[in-house]
Amino acid sequence: MEFDHDILIIGSGAAGLSLALKMASYGRVAVLAKSDLTDTNTMQAQGGISAVLGGTDSLESHVDDTINAGAGLCHQAIVERVVAQGKTCIENLIDIGVPFTKETNNRDYAYHLTKEGGHSNRRVIHAADATGQAVECSLLSRVQKHTNIDLFEHAIAIDIIQGQKLGLDNNRSYGVYALQKDTGKVVVYKAKYTILCTGGTSKVYLYTSNPDVATGDGVAMAWRAGCRVGNMEFIQFHPTCLYHPQAKSFLVTEAVRGEGGHLVLPDGSRFMHKFDERGELAPRDIVARAIDHEMKRLGIECVYLDISHKSADFIIQHFPTIFAKCQQFGIDITTDRIPVVPAAHYTCGGVLVNEHGQTDIDGLYAIGEVAFTGLHGANRMASNSLLECLAYAQFASDHIIQALKQSNITLPSIPAWDESKVTDSDEEVVVSHNWDELRRFMWDYVGIVRTNKRLERAKRRVDLLKLEISEYYSHFRVTNDLLELRNLVTVADLIICSALERHESRGLHHTLDYPERRDELQDTILTPK
């Protein structure tokens, strides 16, 4: 089976859906979702979107805060460009009906703005504590009504289709092969332009705030296709995920701390002031390391986030999602402390792209968490992620629209997926075992605090897994689990190799062997052999 489109978007989060809406008037658009359309990182985002929207705030302040949170490694020109796009992005979302929380006490601006870690001003606009859901549903409602956009669910992309592999004299991208999970068949999705909007890689860790789909598919596919990647060592661990045996992947938004929540030890004492003068509102890398330090020092399983000193009405109004979720586990956040631990949350590096979202391969773009744009540096500032998705959807669409007008691309004939030399697997236990082993040693050896010995130990293990999984992949028909494991082992290797290359502690990369920050600023760029 084969589908033919002008634009192929892989991923249905904020980046992918925003781009689809912007491109739909200029060509036929396909959106591929590897699971349900709403099974995305965007859907789980609670906090909000950072943007300069008035008052005493300024673009310069937002830029400075971003670069400071990023430990100086951000690309200033990119930061300035993205921050300048913020107000327009928010206005566009308001126009399509995103129900941002209204302000009741301030006449300067109609919407409530909160303050999160690393920000010097209140600039985070939000829809209560379920901003991502509000954005995702509003965008999806518009996308589903557009007759020029085709939506494909439960289709996991396998690899980029490239000109050289087709025997052509170019290495342009012409779409992807994808496994249609309901039928088990591999389908060809042809396109003049392919955009990776596949999200991050945090499922490579044992504990993560991300949904199960965050397996680094876009990074791994781009790497196999020959694209460079950058700064993969900078994996952000969100400081506060709900600690409960039945609470899988539930994040407690930074806005709880922004509105006065305290981090406390089991005896009720606060501790963040010992690590940073900003206390609970220090950047995420500092807060996560502080919690990790206290847990190891005291031998405790979690710390606690306490907002109970606020009124019950305030808490329920501002954090209805968290209130309801915690109640399911017998925790009343209006009177009880919330048990929390850090968990892998965000990939600050990714596929190397330029200011338009272009990768090293003609016709292939990457936007959102999958991409390394230079915005986040060594540590993403809170609520800059959705801003990046929306801003780069605009930058990429502007560039692709011009390219469509100026070029006349003919899609070549693409051969069907060849399964003649493979069989159904009779060893699925290999996949599940390797999956567990990979995520456990990444958590143990490549986590919040690192050492050369731990990284080298992880490298030896990942090299063995790569061989096993490659051999397995070459002999058996592809399945969703096998494809995700193949991608996870690739991104794990990229994270480990990048971490071994950085001989300093900066932002999210903290190593006991190189505890100081170096004077020179340098990205870690890896190039496929």
Locate 488 and state its tokens: 């996870």
Q: Measured in Å, how far apart are the chain's first and last C-alpha atoms?
A: 33
Mean pLDDT of the chain: 94
The verdict on 271 and 362 lying in the same domain is no
Nearest to 125 by CA among 54, 28, 183, 25: 54
Write the Ramachandran bin of 42: left for phi over 0, alpha for psi from -120 to 50, otherwise beta. Answer: alpha
Best mean pLDDT range from 315-319, 350-354, 440-444? 350-354
Question: Do the domain assignments include residue 20?
Answer: yes
Q: 480-501 vs 428-445: helix axis angle to the nearest 10?
A: 30
**What whole-number distance in Å separates Cα of residue 117 and Cα of residue 136?**
24
Question: Do the domain assignments include residue 472?
Answer: yes
DSSP letter for 476, please.
Answer: B
Nearest to 262 by CA among 337, 317, 342: 337
Q: Taking a C-beta distance cutoff of 8 angstroms, is the pair 241, 341 a contact?
A: yes
Question: Do the domain assignments include residue 421?
Answer: no
Mean pLDDT (whole number) for 164-189? 95
pLDDT-based confidence at residue 106 (cuts at 50, 70, 90): low
φ, ψ dihedrals at 262, nearest 5°:
-110, 140
Question: Do the domain assignments include residue 415?
Answer: no
Locate 483 and state its tokens: 């494809």
The verdict on 322 and 435 lying in the same domain is no
Locate 60 and state its tokens: 């310069």
Residue 455's CATH number: 1.20.58.100
Mean pLDDT (whole number) for 55-80? 96
Mean pLDDT (whole number) for 440-469? 95
| C-alpha distances in Å from residue 16, one per residue of 47, 122, 270, 394, 396 | 20, 28, 41, 11, 11
Active-site residue, from 123, 257, 284, 439:
284
Question: Do the domain assignments include residue 423?
Answer: no
The verdict on 120 and 172 lying in the same domain is yes
**What whole-number distance in Å separates Cα of residue 79 and Cα of residue 66?**
7
- Total number of domains constituting the chain: 3
Locate 398 and state its tokens: 């502007």
Listed range (372-376, 403-407, 459-463) with the worst mean pLDDT: 403-407
Write down which residue in 297, 318, 345 finishes a domain: 345
Q: Taking a C-beta distance cutoff of 8 angstroms, is the pair 29, 6 a contact?
A: yes
pLDDT-based confidence at residue 476 (cuts at 50, 70, 90): confident
Burial of 143 (0-12, 13-18, 19+ CB in 10 A): buried
The verdict on 151 and 35 lying in the same domain is yes
Count other Cβ atoms within 10 Å, centred on residue 108.
10
The verdict on 14 and 99 lying in the same domain is yes
Q: Which residue range(s) make up the domain with 442? A: 428-523
Question: Do the domain assignments include residue 401?
Answer: yes
The verdict on 49 and 122 lying in the same domain is yes
The verdict on 225 and 269 lying in the same domain is no
pLDDT, tens digit (0-9, with 9 covering 90-100), for 497-522: 999 999 999 999 999 999 999 999 99
Instruction: Please report which helix (H) or strand (E) contains residue 175, including its range.
Output: strand 173-180
Write down which residue in 345, 369, 389 finishes a domain: 345
Mean pLDDT (whole number) for 146-175? 96
Question: Do the domain assignments include residue 58?
Answer: yes
pLDDT, tens digit (0-9, with 9 covering 90-100), for 343-390: 999 999 999 999 999 999 999 999 999 999 999 999 999 999 999 999
The verdict on 326 and 393 lying in the same domain is no
Residue 44's CATH number: 3.50.50.60
Locate 507 and state its tokens: 């932002």
Locate 29 and state its tokens: 């658009």
The verdict on 395 and 441 lying in the same domain is no
Report angle CA 457, 459, 464 to the nearest 5 degrees: 105
pLDDT, tens digit (0-9, with 9 covering 90-100), for 213-242: 999 999 999 999 999 999 999 999 999 999
What does the H/E/C string look like for 289-304? HHHHHHHHHHCCCCEE
Residue 332's CATH number: 3.90.700.10
Percentage of residues in the chain with pLDDT exceeding 90? 85
The verdict on 305 and 376 lying in the same domain is no
Is residue 108 pLDDT above 70, yes or no? no
Q: Taking a C-beta distance cutoff of 8 angstroms, is the pair 148, 25 a contact?
A: yes
Mean pLDDT (whole number) for 405-416? 91
Q: Taking a C-beta distance cutoff of 8 angstroms, is the pair 6, 28 a contact?
A: yes
506 annotated active-site:
no
Write down which residue in 329, 345, 361 finishes a domain: 345
Question: Do the domain assignments include residue 313?
Answer: yes
Write down the number of H helices and E strands in the chain. 15, 20
Q: 385-406 vs 131-145: helix axis angle to the nearest 10?
A: 20
The verdict on 197 and 262 lying in the same domain is no
The verdict on 147 and 245 lying in the same domain is no
